[in-house]
Amino acid sequence: QKEVEQNSGPLSVPEGAIASLNCTYSDRVSQSFFWYRQYSGKSPELIMSIYSNGDKEDGRFTAQLNKASQYVSLLIRDSQPSDSATYLCAVNIQGAQKLVFGQGTRLTINP
Partner 1 sequence: SAVISQKPSRDICQRGTSLTIQCQVDSQVTMMFWYRQQPGQSLTLIATANQGSEATYESGFVIDKFPISRPNLTFSTLTVSNMSPEDSSIYLCSIRGKVMDTEAFFGQGTRLTVV
**Which residues of this chain interact with partner 1, rule CB under 8 A?**
31-32, 34, 41-46, 49, 88, 90, 92, 94, 97-104
Q: Which is nearer to partner 1, 43 or 82 (CB)?
A: 43
Q: Which is nearer to partner 1, 41 or 111 (CB)?
A: 41
Q: Please, what is the minimum distance in Å from the beta carbon of residue 6 to partner 1?
A: 8
Q: Which is nearer to partner 1, 11 or 100 (CB)?
A: 100
Which secondary structure element, helix H or strand E, spans residue 30, and what is its range? none
**Counts of helices then strands in the chain (DSSP H, E):** 0, 11
Q: How far does the chain reach from its first CA to its final CA, in angstroms? A: 37
Q: Please, what is the minimum distance in Å from the beta carbon of residue 34 to partner 1?
A: 5
User: What Å distances lie between residue 24 and 28, 55, 72, 90, 95, CA to CA?
Assistant: 11, 16, 6, 10, 20
